[in-house]
């Protein structure tokens, strides 16, 4: 009896996995890094991302005046079409620098979205660092 139950559980689990992979096209689930086969990426990779940030970030005046520096950590969702949404500040430096980080992320071009088993999915991108330095 235990052997039959084990076989039923194995086949049921396999069927559920197959069903969930097939339904990824219409899926609105947000997947984390640990499941993603291909992680989301800024177009052109990290070098282009650095160039984009350098060209787009405007250091807030109050932060310059008060010598405020640091690394903001943001999180967001990379949608299936590569747009970014649901911006959150995970680690704050100051209100003006945090706001600038969100402003710049909103200006980002579309990213290459995350992929699971060949299907494009919504992906939670956590721990995105954005460094602010006056030196």
The predicted pLDDT at position 3 comes to 33
The answer to whether residue 83 sits within a structural domain is yes
Find the angle CA(103)-CA(106)-CA(107) to the nearest 5 degrees. Answer: 90
- If one counts the domains in the chain, the total is 1
Domain that holds residue 52: 28-132
Mean pLDDT of 69-89: 97
The answer to whether residue 94 sits within a structural domain is yes
Report phi then psi at 82, rounded to 5: 90, -5
CATH code of residue 122? 3.30.2420.10
Q: What tokens does 6 get?
A: 């084990």
The answer to whether residue 123 sits within a structural domain is yes
CB 98 within 8 A of CB 72: yes
The answer to whether residue 108 sits within a structural domain is yes
Classify each residue of 79-115 as buried b or exposed e, where b means 16 or more C-beta atoms within 10 Å of its C-beta. bbebebeebebeeebbebbbebbbebbeebeebbbbb
Tens-place pLDDT, residues 11-53: 322 333 333 444 455 678 999 877 889 999 999 999 999 999 9
The answer to whether residue 50 sits within a structural domain is yes
Average pLDDT taken over every residue of the chain:
83
Find the angle CA(98)-CA(81)-CA(24) to the nearest 5 degrees. Answer: 115
| C-alpha pair distances (Å), 52 with each of 5, 16, 43, 76, 116 | 56, 42, 10, 17, 27
The answer to whether residue 84 sits within a structural domain is yes
The answer to whether residue 98 sits within a structural domain is yes
DSSP 23: G
| C-alpha pair distances (Å), 122 with each of 11, 39, 47, 112 | 28, 11, 24, 11
The answer to whether residue 3 sits within a structural domain is no
């Amino acid at each position: 009896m235990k052997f039959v139950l084990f076989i039923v559980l194995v086949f049921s689990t396999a069927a559920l996995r197959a069903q969930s992979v097939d339904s990824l096209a219409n899926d609105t689930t947000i997947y984390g890094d640990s499941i993603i086969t291909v992680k989301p990426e800024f177009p052109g990779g990290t070098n282009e991302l650095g160039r984009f940030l350098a060209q787009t970030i405007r250091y807030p005046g109050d932060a310059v005046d008060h010598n405020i520096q640091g690394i903001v950590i943001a999180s967001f969702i990379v949608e299936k079409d590569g747009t970014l949404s649901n911006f959150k500040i995970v680690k704050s430096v100051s209100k003006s620098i945090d706001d600038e980080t969100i402003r710049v992320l909103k200006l980002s071009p579309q990213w290459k979205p995350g992929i699971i088993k060949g299907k494009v999915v919504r992906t939670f991108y956590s721990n995105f660092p954005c460094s602010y330095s006056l030196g």
